[in-house]
Chain A
Amino acid sequence: MSEAGPHGRDTLGLATRVKALAVADPVLDLERRKSLLASREWTGYQMEELALTAIDTVTLKMDFDDGARHEDIVAAMARVAGLQMPQRDRDEHTAVARWVLDSLLNVGTVDRDFSHDYGIVLHGSYTTQTFPFKLLREVPGPDGRPRLRASNEAISVLVGAVDLDIASEQVAADAKLEALVRRGRLTDAHRAAEMALRRTVQYTEHIRSRLEGMRRDIRSVDWVRDVQSMQTEALEHIEDRINAENTIKDNLVRMMENSTEDTTPAQAAELIAILEECLRRHASLQANLQEVGERFRAEQERQSFVPPPSRAHVALERQLLEPALQLPVRQAYPLLDTFATAATPPHRPAIIYLPDLITGLMTPPTEPDGDDGLIIEPEFGEAPDDSAFSDEQYTAVTALLQHTDTDGTRLSELLDAARRHGIPTGQGNLDHLLALHVLGLFGAPHHDPEHGTVLAALADDHELDDARFAGHDLLVVHGPATAIPPTDNSLQEGAA
C-alpha cells in the first residue's frame, strides 16, 4: 500500500512501482503458460524474448502517424523463434509468433486489455484500485485495417523507466553512446545506440501526443505559453540531437577508416545504420514540428471562428458528449440510454402470438448479419476497347464507296464486291462493315463541302436478296448535292 496525499498523490511511489511491475506481468506470464499448452511442444521457446521482440519491432516500426502491420510483427517474431528452435519448421515458428502476439493483445477478452489491482490510501482509508493497461494498441490504419502501436506502458517496460523526462534521457543516451564510441568500445556502443534509438521513438511519441492535444481543442492550449515554447524547445532539442548524432557518426566513420582490426568496420557500420535511423526519425519529427504553426492556424479557423448559435440550442458535443464522458459508467449509461430512446422513433412492441412463436422456433437460426462481414471491393482492370473492324477494312470500304457515281450502285453489288476481297464473311468482316456504312449513309448522307458532292444511300422498292442481310436493296449514289433526291427516311434497312 502507499500513503496518498489529499489529492490521491502517491508520495512513496508504491502505486507507480506496482503499476510498472504489473506491465511486465503479461510478458512473464507467457513463459508460465507455455507449458500449459498441452498439445503443443513449445517449451523450448523463450516466450519473453519473443514478446519483447514484438514490442520492440512495433515500437521501431510505428511512425508519426501510422502503426505496424500484424504480418510484419509476426514475421519478425518468427525469425527469432527460428533462431531459438532451428530444428522445428517455419509453420510452427509462425504459430508460436501468432500465439505470443495474440497473448500480448489479450485476444479473447472484451476490452483486450490487462488489469492489475493495487491500493492507495485515500481520505485515510485503504482502497483497492484496478489499473487497466494495454501493451499493444490496435488502431485503424490509413486503409481502415488494424495497425499496432505500442502503448506508453509497453515502451516504458521495454526501455526500463517510468515517468522520466524523455528529452534529458535522450541526451543521456547520446552522451553514453558518444563516450563508448570515443573509447572504441563498439560492442557496448551497439546497445547504447539501440537505446538512443528507442529514446528517439519515445520522444517522437511524446511530442505526437502533445500535438494531438492541440489539434483536439484549440482552447485547451495557449499558443504563446504552451505550443510555441514546446515547439521551440523540441526544435532546439532535435537540432542538438542531430548535431550530436552526426558527430558520433563522423567519429565512427573515421574509426572505420583507421581501424586495423577485422571486426571494427562491421560493428561500426551497424552503429552507423542505427544512427541514421535516429537521424531519419528526427528529421521527420522536425518537419512535423515546423508545420505546427500552420496547423494551429488551420485548427483555429476550424474551431474558433464559428459564428455563435443564433438560438439557444444544445451544443451536442460540448454540452452533452463531453460531460457524459466524464461521468462514471454507472451514471452515464442511464442518461445515454434515455438519449438513445428519445432519438429513436417509438416501436410497436413485439407481442408473442403462439403460432408465430412456433414458426419462430422452427426457422433455422439466421446467419450472422453481413454488416460486419468482409466487403471485397471489386477491382476493375483496364480493358482496352477492341475495335470490331481493322483499319484495312475501313480503307477497303471507303475505296468501294468511292467507286459509286451519280447513277448509283446497288448495295447487293457492293456486298458482292466486298466479298470478292477474299476475306471470309460474317460478323466483324468487310461485308458487315459495308452494310453498316451504307445504312449510315441512308440515315445521314455524307456531304463533302470541298467538292459540293453528297454520298447517300437511297431506298426504292427493291428487296435485297442476300444470305446475311435482309431489307431494301439500297442504292448508293455519289454526286452533286442538288442531283440527289431527298431521302425517304420512313424506310428501314435491317442488317442480320
Chain B
Amino acid sequence: MNNPDDTAAVNRLLAFGFQPGLTPRRNAEYATLVDRCRTDQDFARLLHAAARGFDLTVIAVDPRAGLVLGATAETQFAVSVTDHITRPADRPIAALAHLAIAALAYYRPEDLDDPSHVGRITVRHVDEMVERATKELERQAAEADTDDGVPADHPDLMQLWRYYQRRNPVSSTGDDRAHSKSRHALIKRVAEYLADNGMLRRAGKENGGTYTTTARYQIQVRELAGQQMLGQLAELGITVGPDGSPAFSSPEITTALTTPPPSAERGE
C-alpha cells in the first residue's frame, strides 16, 4: 500500500486536478490515473487522504471532468472574489454574478443532474435574469409600502437587490468602451474568470459574450456550491422550497434584517 510509486501517482493526479483547463481527454496519463482511481479502491482512498492533507475535498473523479477538487474558505488554495475584483464596491455585484451565472446555466434544477446538459449563458441574459428578480422584489416592496431608504450610517444594510439595481447595466464612456463599473462589465469579468479557470468555455461574442458550461462546473455547483449556500441560508433561517414558496415564515426575518433597531447594530 505504502508504495512510493503510488504516492507519486496520487500526487500526480492531484497536480492534474489543479490544472482546471485540463481534462482526461486531453492527457493520456491523466485518463489512466482517473481510470485507476475509479477501479482501484486503495488508490482512491490514498487520493482522498492526500487531498485531505491539502485541506481539499475530492468532489468527484469523473472521466469527463477529471479530478474535481473543492476548497472551503479556510483552505490555502481557496479563491475568493476579493482576489479577482479589486474595488470593494464591485465585489457584491461580482459575487452575485457568480451565483447568477450558475443559476442561468442550470435554470431548472434537473439541469444540474443531467450530465449531458450544457448550459449556455450570455452576459446580457445573466443581467436580465437578476434584473427581473430585482423588479419583482421592487414590486413587492412597493406593494408592502415599505420605506425604500437605507440607514445613513449603515450603507451596507441596503438590500442586495437595491444595491444591484442602483448600478447601471451599461454606461456610456467617452470613448465608446464598456464602462468598467457597469453590471455588464462586471458579469463579463466574472465569466472570463470562470472561463480562464476551466469552468466555462467561450462560445462567442453575441449578447456581450456567450459562454457554455463544462462538466467540472456542473459538478462543483451541484455537489459543493449549491448545497453549501443552501445550508448557510438555512442557518440564517431562510428556507425556500424548490417551487419558490417560502417553507417557513422567512419574509419576517428578512424584513427584520433590513431595518434592525439601531441599538442592535452597535453590538456588532
Residue numbers of A with Cβ under 8 A of B are 4, 7-10, 15, 70, 105, 107, 110-113, 117-118, 120, 122-123, 125, 127-132, 134, 137-140, 144-146, 209, 212-213, 215-217, 219-220, 306-333, 335-349, 371-375
Find out whether the CB atom of B151 lies under 8 angstroms from the CB atom of A346.
no
Q: Does B8 contact A (CB under 8 A)?
A: no
CA distance A343 to B185 in the complex (A): 20
- How long is the Cα–Cα vector from A349 to B199 in the complex, in angstroms? 19
Instruction: Name 12 interchain pairs, CB-CB below 8 A, sorted by A.
Output: A110-B89, A110-B90, A112-B168, A127-B151, A139-B170, A217-B244, A323-B250, A324-B160, A341-B79, A343-B98, A344-B193, A373-B178
A326 and B161 in contact, given A320-B103, A320-B229, A372-B185 (Cβ under 8 angstroms): yes
Which residue numbers of B lie inside 8 Å of A, CB to CB?
17-18, 20, 56, 68-73, 75-83, 87, 89-92, 94-96, 98-100, 102-104, 106-110, 112-113, 124, 127, 129-130, 132-137, 139-140, 144-164, 166-172, 175-178, 180-182, 184-185, 188-189, 192-194, 197-199, 205, 207-208, 216-217, 220-222, 224-230, 232-233, 236, 238, 240-244, 250, 254, 257-259, 261-262
Q: Which of A307, A313, A333 has the most CB of B within 10 A?
A: A313
How distant is B208 from chain A, measured CB to nearest CB, in Å?
6
With A316-B106, A336-B92 in contact, do A346 and B77 touch (Cβ < 8 Å)?
A: yes
Chain A residues lying within 8 Å of B56, measured Cβ to Cβ, are 346
Q: Which residues of A contact B236 (CB under 8 A)?
A: 327, 331
Q: A347 to B177, alpha carbons, bound, how many Å?
A: 31
The complex places the Cα of A325 from the Cα of B132 at a distance, in Å, of: 11
Using CB atoms, name the residue of chain B closest to A350.
Answer: B83
A113 to B166, CA, bound (A): 7
Q: Which residue from chain B places its CB closest to the CB of A342 in the assembled complex?
A: B225
- Contact, CB under 8 Å: A7 / B230: no
Compute how far the CA of A212 lies from the CA of B142 in the bound complex, rounded to whole angstroms.
15
Contact present for B146 and A7 (CB under 8 Å): yes
Q: Is the CB of B222 within 8 A of A313?
A: yes
Q: Is the CB of A339 within 8 A of B178?
A: no
Find out whether the CB atom of A320 lies under 8 angstroms from the CB atom of B216. Answer: no
Contact A321 B99 (CB under 8 A): yes
Complex Cα distance, B103 from A365, in Å, reads: 36
Other A-B pairs beyond A328-B159, A342-B72, 15, CB < 8 Å: A122-B261, A145-B170, A216-B135, A307-B110, A309-B109, A309-B242, A314-B222, A316-B102, A320-B229, A322-B137, A322-B244, A336-B98, A345-B17, A347-B197, A371-B188
B92 & A342 in contact (Cβ 8 Å cutoff): no
State in angstroms the CA–CA spacing of A322 and B254 once bound together.
12
Contact, CB under 8 Å: A338 / B232: yes
In the complex, what residues of A have CB within 8 A of residue B132's CB? Answer: 215-217
Provide the bound-state CA to CA distance between A375 and B154, in Å: 40
CB-CB under 8 A from A10, the residues of chain B are 147
Min C-beta distance of B150 to chain A, whole Å: 5
Is B229 touching A338 in the complex (CB atoms < 8 A)? Answer: yes
Q: Which 4 A-B pairs have the closest CB atoms?
A: A129-B149, A336-B95, A346-B77, A342-B225
A129 near B147 with CB under 8 A, answer yes
Contacts of B113 in A (CB 8 A): 309-311, 313
Chain A residues positioned under 8 Å from B94 (CB to CB): 340
Contact for A8 among B106, B130, B146, B262, CB less than 8 A? B146
Q: A144: which B residues are within 8 A, CB to CB?
A: 124, 170, 207-208
A367 to B188, CA, bound (A): 18
Tell me, in angstroms, the Cα distance from A308 to B243 when the chains sit together. Answer: 9
Q: Is the CB of B199 within 8 A of A313?
A: no
Contacts of B242 on A, CB cut-off 8 Å?
A: 308-309, 312-315, 318-319
Checking B91, B134, B172, B261 against A123 with a beta-carbon cut-off of 8 angstroms, the contacting residue is B261
Question: A138-B170, A321-B130, A331-B257 are known contacts. Are A346 and B99 too (CB-CB below 8 A)?
Answer: no
In the complex formed, the residue of A with least CB distance to B150 is: A130
In the complex, which residues of chain B have a beta carbon less than 8 angstroms from the beta carbon of A340? 79-81, 94-95, 98-99
Query: Do A341 and B240 touch (CB < 8 A)?
Result: no
Give CA–CA (A326, B146) in the complex, Å: 13
Contacts of B92 in A (CB 8 A): 329, 332-333, 336
| Chain B residue nearest in CB terms to A132 | B166
On whether A328 and B166 interact (CB within 8 A), knowing A117-B152, A138-B172, the answer reads: no
Contacts A120-B147, A326-B161, A329-B160 given; does A345 touch B99 at CB 8 Å: no
Bound Cα distance from A215 to B132, whole angstroms:
9
Min CB distance, A310 to chain B, in Å?
A: 6
> Are A344 and B229 interface neighbours, CB within 8 A?
no
Q: Which B residues are in CB contact (< 8 Å) with A307?
A: 110
**Chain B, Cβ-Cβ closest to A112:** B168
Contact in complex: B80, A325 (CB < 8 Å): no
Q: Give which listed residue, A70, A120, A312, contacts B172 with CB less than 8 A.
A: A70
A125 in contact with B262 (CB, 8 Å): yes
B148→A321 contact, CB < 8 A: no
B110 touches A339 (CB 8 A): no
Bound Cα distance A9, B146 (Å)? 7
- A346:B18 contact, CB within 8 angstroms: yes
Which residues of B sit under 8 angstroms from A325, Cβ to Cβ?
96, 130, 133-134, 137, 159-161, 164
- Chain A's nearest CB lies how many Å from the CB of B56? 6
- List the B residue with the shortest CB-CB distance to A9: B145
- Give the shortest distance, in Å, between B181 (CB) and chain A (any CB): 6
Smallest Cβ-Cβ distance to A323: which chain B residue:
B238
- C-alpha spacing A4/B232, complex, angstroms: 34
A339 touches B240 (CB 8 A): no
* Across-interface contacts of B17 in A (CB, < 8 A): 345
**Given A321-B99, A341-B79, residue A332 in contact with residue B230 (CB < 8 A):** no
Beta-carbon nearest neighbor of A137 in chain B: B168
User: What residues on A are CB-neighbors of B164 within 8 Å?
Assistant: 325
Decide: A329 near B157, CB < 8 A? Known: A341-B78, A343-B98, A345-B69: yes
Taking each of A309, A323, A329, A333, which has the highest tally of chain B beta carbons within 10 Å of its own beta carbon?
A329
Minimal Cβ-Cβ distance residue in B for A122: B259
Name the contact of A317 in the complex, choosing from B103, B205, B224, B261 (C-beta under 8 A): B103
Inter-subunit contact A314/B95 (CB<8 Å) = no
**Residues on A with beta carbons closer than 8 Å to the beta carbon of B217:** 343
Q: How far is the CB of A112 from chain B (nearest CB, A)?
A: 5
Residues in chain A near residue B68, CB distance under 8 A = 345
In the bound complex, residues from chain B placing their C-beta under 8 Å from that of A327 are: 159-160, 236, 238, 254, 257
Q: Which residues of A contact B184 (CB under 8 A)?
A: 140
Of B20, B73, B175, B258, the contact of A341 (CB 8 Å cutoff) = B73
